[in-house]
Amino acid sequence: MKKTFLITLIMVVFSLPTYNFQANASPDISATNAVVLDMDTNAVLFEKESHVERNIASITKIMTAIVALEHGELEDDVNISRNAATQEGSSIYTKLGDTYSLKDLLYGLMLRSGNDAATAIAEHIGGSEKGFALLMNEKANWIGMNDSSFQNPHGLDEDGHYSTAYDMALLTSYAMNSNDQFEKIFSSEKYLSNNIDYHWYNKNKMLMTNDYCTGGKTGFTKSAGRTLVTTAEKDGKRLVVVTLNASDDWNDHRELYEYGFEEIDNRSDFMNEEDIVDFSSLFESYFDVLNQLHGVKEWST
């Protein structure tokens, strides 16, 4: 009887479906910290030290943009203060006393990474840079960015101003999924402001050189290194990719796109509905075997 029982058990085990699941080779990237999210589920497809707090430079402006869009109106008139016009770093070359629409400043913020635009937006929406930072942190808490703290709207180095690759991916996923105007700005290759007679071109060259890229924001300071957030889409699959302190960020993102799309396919194949084990049938077979072995007519479960 024992021999019959063992043979039957072996037959049950070998009747289970087999899976041809091949692990996706982990990409070799230059970034110190990185993450790839499925933008439709926020599932982590790849991560490298993604919860480590770091300076993030101008990818800060993703938060600036979504807060401004949720608290202001695109046609608002924004006056340029001395503080905004003289802000150090990257600029759209505003002057004291100029008036821009909030829409123009948002495009200058995201395409040209204007620190003057960021400051003007913050002063208009929050009354001051610090007032606006309160709104930024409020939004971060609401989204679930548990390892982030914002002290300014532009991303210049400041004590207490930091985030993580994961938090910035979570933020970008939220902004892209919740606000059509953000998505439009984030994906724009160029923009012509009413205040000037030449186009602003997006510093995110992935938009012009990669078929999958649907948007992005660049950043750099000496302490943060090169930071980059991009989004991508292929055959209906959507990704958010974040790299921090990446010397070869453009190639990192290209490689992470390929990895992310393949990973979604692998996970989808693995969880294919027709391949899921029918555990009720398995247990029925198991108890049939026990009945044979012990001569018991009924088992309760």
Q: Which tens digit of pLDDT belongs to each residue from 133-153?
A: 999 999 999 999 999 999 999
Question: Could you tell me if 31 and 255 are in contact, meaning their C-beta atoms sit under 8 angstroms apart?
Answer: no
Give yes or no: 81 in active site.
no
What is the CATH number for 256?
3.40.710.10
- Residue owning tokens 């938009």: 207
pTM of the model: 0.83
Question: Given 48, 61, 103, 237, which residue is catalytic?
Answer: 61
Whether residue 299 is contained in a domain is answered as no
217 annotated ligand binder? yes
Which H or E element spans position 215? Answer: strand 213-221
The CA distance from 287 to 298, in Å, is 9
Q: Which tens digit of pLDDT belongs to each residue from 253-280?
A: 999 999 999 999 998 765 554 444 444 4
Q: What are phi and psi of 224, to 5 degrees?
A: -85, -25
Helix/strand/coil for 35: strand
193 is in which domain, residue-wise?
29-273
Whether residue 285 is contained in a domain is answered as no
Whether residue 301 is contained in a domain is answered as no
Q: Residue 249: pLDDT above 50?
A: yes
> Residue 72 has what pLDDT?
98
Total number of domains in the chain: 1
Q: Which tens digit of pLDDT belongs to each residue from 161-196?
A: 999 999 999 999 999 999 999 999 999 999 999 899
Give yes or no: 61 in active site.
yes
